[in-house]
Structure 1
Amino acid sequence: MNYSNASFVKRYEGNPILTGKDFPDEYHILHCFNSGIIKYKDKYLMLNRLEDCSLKAYFWIAESDDGYDFTPRPAPIAMPEDNPLFQKYASINYYDPRITQIGDTYYIMHACHSEYDCRLSLLSTVDFEQFKWHGFVSDPGNRNGILFPEKVNGLYARFDRPMTSWDGGNIWMSFSPDLVHWGQSECVLKNSAVRWAWSKVGGGCTPIKTEHGWLNLFHGVRTQCKSHYVYQSGVCLHDLEDPTKVIAVSEKPIITPMANYELHGQTPSVCFITGAIVEPDGEVKVYYGGADTVMCAGTIQLQTLVDLCHNRL
């Protein structure tokens, strides 16, 4: 079916690219979605968010030569589940990893959920074999943490989304001298600035640096019939020198749930963008979770993303 009227992202014809069935049977994996992606030594590495039939969480790496055909490694990565703090504050789930390369180190910011609410946690690796846990890097009530690939005015920077009683649906920026202690937070994109996402917006993948500014591919949510959520993905452009300033926001989403694997699953009507790889020819491979159940891919041109921000299309 042709979905071009509803999306600027061209869906990969082989979608979904990963499902729970692609992982070893003994783990009883049901869902593979909202996974991080990075290029490492000429391979595409996807750090997958998995849930088994009891909703136990795993982070599991899959590798690909072309960005579409992924092969999972034999086992999930080791998480700090014997650490008392991790046990306490990730007792329900850990999820939504976002990978950012800074120098020779790859940082993985992700959410952890417990009876004490949601907070951000940080892992790092230099080889995707051994992982170091840096602890929790936010107060309770924060998620969608995504690191910038370079410092901003001498400080590490990230997008995040505080979930307070008075502000639960906007994208913020926070800054840190050491990746652990964060502050100087500012709201940078309100859901009210996005016509099709009046419920909430949140960061999607590592910001993309261009000559025009930082591209921010984000998810946006609207509520239909009081209780049905529709997750789309959009794009905005932040100032290069001061990314707390948004230069332009696309009036249109770049992808809208239309395919069966986006409309049907444990959370219907979801395109949840979690990663993007910019190729040398200007093509951007986009990765997103479909219906909180499967992983999907698509493509869009880098210039198209910039043009959408300025509403030229």
Structure 2
Amino acid sequence: MLNIKKEGILLSKTELSFENESVLNPAIMQEGGTVHLFYRAVRVGNYSTIGYCKLDGPLKVVQRNNTPILIPCSEDASNGIEDPRIVKIDDIYYITYTSFNGINALGTLVTSTDLIHFKNHGIIVPQITYDEFKRLAECTNLVNLKYFRHVRHFKRDKKVFIWDKDVIFFPRRIGGKLAFLHRIRPGIQLVLIENLQDLTTEFWNNYFLNFNEHIILDPIESIHESSFIGGGCPPIETEKGWLLIYHGVYDTSEGYIYSAAAALLDLENPTKVIARLPYPLISPELEYEKNGIVDNVIFPTGTALFDDELYIYYGAADKCIACASVSLSSLLEELSLHLVKN
């Protein structure tokens, strides 16, 4: 059995107005012994921006900004920007987050070459209604029927799109293409493109006509992810495959319970799942994970590797940022015991 060490709370809310309700779900960029955190900062009223702090090593905070590093800059994000992730491809940082306008929650991209100046590329996921999605995805008759149940129905004055969150880029091109994960409930899907300009309406129409081919992971029968799953940390390249740490959710009479889970994807064909843990990697057990803004939540969003120790950073109960660690080699060995039959 894996030995998971819970390192405790790393960041909590402050009295600063932009983060006086909670801090959670950080994007992690490791550069040598330095770890950069770009975290979701929530002010009272549930309005989110992105804060920044720097670590010396995996756990020691040495700098924390007193203003947000990223703020909403469009009507699509009028109610805040949430849950960032970050990777570096060649010399460019790709930072993704969810734009929320009170109704629609959609994956958005900004890029940077220096983590000081940022270029906003806007929403990069499809802006598609449920009826449009259903019409296209039903054509193959192969899609998990849960995709037609996990939909929020609103009667509002704004156009309602299917929520498409957890946009996470792979940290290198695969077969010469940019690759990113995204999440339309209840599973995790993959996009491969030559460049961002490929993401046209025609591209997405063809994508949904063959939607089943793009689903990497759907929920399995194991109770920890029986309701739905979603992206977590950017994939980690190892000699055995892409290590994907994601979140799994199941419903109880007291609400959803979120845990961290793990799978291994083929390096050159990440639609092929090599292995998958049948049990949660990290579950909400401690007080700060079980009680908060949203109870019973572990939401992993970034990692850092020091020697063989993998540090997994996560939002705990939507209230604070915590960290757990595990031996990378031990995790890969454990995954090798749970190969997936393709």
TM-score range normalised by the length of the shorter chain = 0.7 to 0.9
2:221 and 2:121 map into 1 onto residues whose CA distance is 34
1:127 and 1:296 map into 2 onto residues whose CA distance is 26
Quote how far apart the aligned CAs of 1:283 are: 1.1
1:212 and 1:53 map into 2 onto residues whose CA distance is 44
Q: Does 1:187 align with 2:182?
A: no
What corresponds to 2:279 in structure 1?
252
Quote how far apart the aligned CAs of 1:115 are: 4.6
Moved more, 34-43 or 250-259: 34-43
What corresponds to 2:330 in structure 1?
304
Q: Sort the Cα spacing of 1:241 and 1:26 in 2 relative to 1 into closer, same or farther, 3 A.
A: closer
Q: Does 1:103 align with 2:94?
A: no
1:53 and 1:137 map into 2 onto residues whose CA distance is 28
Moved more, 63-72 or 97-106: 63-72
Q: Count residues with an aligned counterpart.
A: 291
Q: Does 1:240 align with 2:233?
A: no
- Partner secondary structure for residue 76 of structure 1: coil
Q: Sort the Cα spacing of 1:20 and 1:304 in 2 relative to 1 into closer, same or farther, 3 A.
A: same
Instruction: Map 1:133-172 onto structure 2 (within 5 A).
Output: 133-140=120-127, 141-162=163-184, 168-172=185-189
- Partner secondary structure for residue 21 of structure 2: strand
From 266, 271, 283, give the equivalent of 2:298: 271
Q: Taking structure 2 as the reference length, what is the TM-score of the superposition?
A: 0.80
Partners of 1:159 and 1:171 within 8 A in 2: yes
1:129-171: CA deviation from partner (whole Å, max 9, x where unpaired): 1111111101132111100011112210011112xxxxx2101
Quote how far apart the aligned CAs of 1:42 are: 3.8
- Partner secondary structure for residue 214 of structure 1: strand
Partners of 1:204 and 1:273 within 8 A in 2: yes
Q: Does 1:199 align with 2:216?
A: no
What corresponds to 2:68 in structure 1?
76
2:72 and 2:102 map into 1 onto residues whose CA distance is 18
Letter in 1 for 2:324: G
Q: Which has the larger share of strand? A: 1
Partners of 1:60 and 1:77 within 8 A in 2: yes
Partners of 2:72 and 2:80 within 8 A in 1: no
2:122 and 2:219 map into 1 onto residues whose CA distance is 30
1:159 and 1:28 map into 2 onto residues whose CA distance is 28
Quote how far apart the aligned CAs of 1:181 are: 3.6
- For the aligned residues, what is the CA RMSD? 1.9
Moved more, 181-190 or 208-217: 181-190
Larger radius of gyration between Structure 1 and Structure 2: 2
1:239 and 1:193 map into 2 onto residues whose CA distance is 22
